[in-house]
Amino acid sequence: MRVLVTGGTGFIGKALIQRLRARGDDITVLCRNAAKARQLLGHDVALWTDFNAWTPEVFFDAVINLAGEPIIDRPWTEKRKAVLRDSRIGLTERLLAAITGAVRKPEVMLSGSAVGYYGNVVDVPCTESGPAGADFSARLCQDWENIALQAEALDIRTVVLRTGLVLHTDGGLLKKMRLPFRCGLGSQLGEGKQMMPWIHRSDYLDALVFLMDNPNCWGAYNMTAPEPVSNREFTRQLGESLHRPALIKTPAWLLKAGLGERSALVLDGQRALPERLLQAGFTFKYATLDAALRHAGVH
């Protein structure tokens, strides 16, 4: 397949490029820094630095849209919120404009989102038919999805990926948590009751390719393992996997003082379940957190 990928130099994107390359796909990556992307991705992918390269005669079988600035790294000033929106919504709008101008449209587009779509949900399981939340990250996801789903009007099968915490020590959450936990500084966040929907990166990539290849899959999918855990349980299991106690509890007030509005990302949660993936016949290799941590390179 001929595949265009945005966000190809990120934690998920780099691994996805390897997966697509291994199965023989012809890959083009949209990036901001071609020299950096070439160093990260090698010489057997094509690189674009803007959508002007997508002339009407260029054709892709699939588009995978994973681009987006990190959401928790910087304070949510109004300027930063605008950057977060443009890196997701604005880029997806520009992507759709390029697709609209193509003589031959892609057969499928997969576009990023997050389980933050549901907002803070206590106890009630979140399946793909559940309502959206109302906080900033929820509205960000809603608007991102709504733009991506406009591709359906172009007769393109469109999938939105409501992603949970993707686990592997190459990056993401585990890379940030590994050192403090190894030093015995692992901490429960607040009361620890908030749910943490997670997925092993290998399962995430398998699921993404499954959705790309399956012509019967469309709409929203929770990209999460079938057994989400509370923050308290996640902290305990990660500490045990590293053979370190995790006895510290960081109070909610301290997180709110330090992170401000962003504290919702660590103090709120969702019991997101991959109902539609399971109904479609997808099988998880790492369905439990214990199995995922053992195979994610944590030890």
pLDDT in tens, 250-298: 888 888 889 889 888 888 999 999 999 999 999 999 999 999 998 865 5
Reading the block at residue 226, the tokens are 């079938």
Asked whether the predicted pLDDT for residue 186 surpasses 90, the reply is no
pLDDT of residue 171: 79
pLDDT of residue 297: 58
Top pLDDT among 246 and 129 is at 129
Q: Give the model confidence (pLDDT) of 120-148 as tens digits.
A: 998 889 999 999 999 999 999 999 999 99
pTM over 0.75: yes
104-119 core/surface letters (b: 16 or more CB in 10 A; e: else): ebbebbbbbbbbbbbb
Reading the block at residue 13, the tokens are 């994107």
Q: Give the model confidence (pLDDT) of 34-92 as tens digits.
A: 999 999 898 889 999 999 999 999 999 999 999 999 998 899 999 999 999 999 999 99
Asked whether the predicted pLDDT for residue 245 surpasses 90, the reply is no
- Alpha helices by DSSP H, listed for the chain, are 11-22, 34-41, 78-85, 91-101, 136-148, 172-182, 201-213, 231-241, 252-259, 264-267, 275-279, 289-295
CATH fold of 2-167+197-225+271-279, please? Rossmann fold (3.40.50)
Calpha distance 252→142 (Å, rounded)? 27
Count of beta carbons in the 10 Å neighbourhood of residue 102: 16
Calpha distance 260→75 (Å, rounded)? 8
Signed CA dihedral, 41, 45, 47, 52: sign only: negative
Calpha distance 285→267 (Å, rounded)? 28
- Residue 15 in contact with residue 169, Cβ under 8 Å? no
